[in-house]
A and B are shown apart, each in its own frame.
Chain A
Amino acid sequence: MTEMIAMRDAYGRALVDLGEQNERVVAVDADLASSSKMNLFAEAFPKRFFQMGIAEQNMTGVAAGLAALGFVAFTNSFACFATLRTTDQIRVSIAQPSLPVVIGGAYSGLLGGKTGKTHQAIEDIAVMRALPNMTVVAPGDGVEVRKAVFAAADHGGPVYLRMTRDPSPVVFDEGYDFKIGRAVLVREGSDVTVITTGLMVGRAVEAAALLAAEGISVHLLHVPTVKPLDVAAVVAAADKTGFVVTAEEHNIIGGLGGAVAEVLGEQRPTPMKRVGVADVYGESAPNDDLLQKYGLTAGHIAQAARFLMERRAAHTQP
């Protein structure tokens, strides 16, 4: 049985270990630390934790001020509020001066624990990606979250760290060498390339198994850093099969699918299919129902791959 770790649990523990190693690490919260598990850091380092209340814009500005004083500041809220309620504060006070602030976005995507449209973040990657100087990281599992936390703290500029709430499959082992800006090949294949970000990598592994049973070989590239995109790895992965499925728990506009399409459109035009939320707002419902209705399961990734395979077949027929 696959091991499961919630990204938030990995996040809280990583912050504590990071805080022990690095005294320059501070944290600011907008009354959601117990949800994101930043409360573990708050308990371990009360002098380096600042509770700003339900005031995300101020929290973001405070982080900028701390960063300007030489600290590495982690902000904390749900992904939707951390990036969208505060976009101008991030833009002017953090991204333009390129300060070392890590914007921690918890509960990203659709699975916010039965909270619905307001709390689901499906636009955050698109908006953060459009900010110059901003790095956007969406780890695929708890192991990658931990490594991304340490890498983000060392990065020296603004980082958006996108995480999720519920336990999700562990894909990577502890020995995996994570680097910001580097994609990782999860599985070699020859028929269709699947490119993922965030926890869609776990669902893509499942999809690859489904497809393997049908004789379709999946080449799986995981892209934890949506910006800066690992262009060479994306182009190479597209070259490998000539067909690309992208998968993300985000709007199909402006996220990973958009980023991959931008690169391939300019460098290697390749038939694509984007798996993601089809430019609609979500609703509150149990996790499995949401993933099924909004097209985010392993089955949907497999279906997108089959669609491209059919296109290839049609194309190669005499």
Chain B
Amino acid sequence: MAGPYRDERLAELANGLRRLVVETLCHTQAGHPGGSLSAAEIVAALFFSVMRVDPQDPEWEERDRFILSKGHAAPVYYAALARRGYFPEEMLQTYDELDSLLQAHPDMHCPGVDMSSGSLGQGLSVGVGMALGMRLKAIDARVFVVLGDGELQEGQIWEAAMAAPKFGLDNLVAIVDDNRIQLMGDTQAIMPVEPISEKWRAFNWNVLEVDGHDPAAIVDACAAAARAKGRPTVILAHTVKGKGVSFMENTHEWHCAPVTEDLKERALTELCVRKVRQ
């Protein structure tokens, strides 16, 4: 039950998700634009091409699972769920509001959210558990976990990184949104996580590297992960924090900051121009 979008349309779709992110964050006057914008192609590729899911039956047992371990990128996740048909797009206007299913950080009560997250470092362990559970139930599906590069500073990530190869979990795919910036500055200055790919290799993972803003490359890497038998795959996706909005790109200032009405208009205009160029 793959998504309806072919690779060539994914770039356009990702920019559409970015526009929804900007609108959502302007509406709520809070949230994390930078890490949502960097993950747009990753989320678009997964939900519209790679993952076998059914928005009409979010609890379908045979589905692929998705965990947004970097839970602060919830706006781009919700944008993808809305566009994919899990809930009406108007619901994005309730993001971060009282009684909304669209909590600032993902909550399992929302359709399409397979695991609550928001405290960094926990999603990969949950993914290991899900992958083990799928094997036990003979469910032929995969678990996709999206991590941030700053999140790799959490020790629990490496506990899980040690565990997944032990069990030969080739149904587990981790994708690192490597935008190289965290809340207070450059990841390498705050606490170096490089060399990332060597670290995962040393933990016995199948390591792939892609341009995280090239949807076709992400789709191909996920297909390659499916062919790599006997061990888990990590896709190191090189991305730009704040991608697509010039004044938000490559700066920690937009890790977490409210989008004003003026800036929203500027951002939406830029994102429309980019759509035309592509």
Q: Which of A23-82 contact B (CB under 8 A)?
A: 26, 28, 47-48, 50, 52-53, 55, 57-71, 73
Chain A positions 80 through 119: 1 when the CB is less than 8 Å from some CB of chain B, otherwise 0: 0000000011011100110000000000000000000000
Q: Are A65 and B128 in contact (CB under 8 A)?
A: yes
With contacts A62-B128, A64-B129, A89-B122 known, what are 13 further pairs, Cβ within 8 A? A28-B129, A50-B167, A53-B163, A55-B162, A58-B160, A60-B125, A61-B125, A61-B156, A61-B160, A66-B132, A68-B65, A89-B125, A97-B116
Top 7 A-B pairs ranked by shortest CB distance?
A: A65-B129, A61-B125, A69-B133, A58-B159, A62-B129, A55-B159, A65-B130
Name the A residues within 8 Å of B128 (CB-CB): 58, 61-62, 65
Q: Does B114 contact A (CB under 8 A)?
A: yes
Name the A residues within 8 Å of B121 (CB-CB): 57
Residue of A nearest to B109 (CB): A97
Name the A residues within 8 Å of B61 (CB-CB): 70
Instruction: Give how many A residues have a beta carbon under 8 Å from the other chain's beta carbons.
Output: 31
Q: Which residues of B are at the interface with A, using a C-beta cutoff of 8 A?
A: 61, 65, 107-109, 114-119, 121-134, 136-137, 139, 143, 155-156, 159-160, 162-163, 167
Residue of B nearest to A86 (CB): B156
CB distance from A98 to the nearest CB of B (A): 9
Q: Are A97 and B129 in contact (CB under 8 A)?
A: no
CA distance A34 to B80 in the complex (A): 46
Q: Are A88 and B134 in contact (CB under 8 A)?
A: no
Name the B residues within 8 Å of A92 (CB-CB): 116-119, 122
CA distance A299 to B18 in the complex (A): 69
CA distance A52 to B132 in the complex (A): 12
Partner of A61, one of B65, B118, B129, B167: B129
Name the A residues within 8 Å of B130 (CB-CB): 65-66, 68-69
Q: Are B159 and A93 in contact (CB under 8 A)?
A: no
Q: Are A68 and B125 in contact (CB under 8 A)?
A: no
CB distance from B125 to the nearest CB of A (A): 3
CA distance A47 to B131 in the complex (A): 14
CA distance A87 to B177 in the complex (A): 27
20 A-B contacts, Cβ less than 8 Å apart?
Answer: A28-B129, A47-B136, A53-B163, A57-B155, A57-B156, A58-B128, A58-B156, A58-B162, A59-B125, A61-B128, A61-B160, A62-B128, A64-B129, A65-B126, A65-B143, A69-B130, A70-B61, A71-B133, A93-B122, A97-B108
CA distance A285 to B258 in the complex (A): 57
CB distance from B148 to the nearest CB of A (A): 16
Q: Are B133 and A64 in contact (CB under 8 A)?
A: no
* Known A-B contacts A57-B156, A88-B119, A97-B115; A65 and B137 likewise in contact (beta carbons under 8 Å): no
Name the B residues within 8 Å of A57 (CB-CB): 121-122, 125, 155-156, 159
* Known A-B contacts A52-B163, A62-B132, A64-B129; A96 and B107 likewise in contact (beta carbons under 8 Å): yes
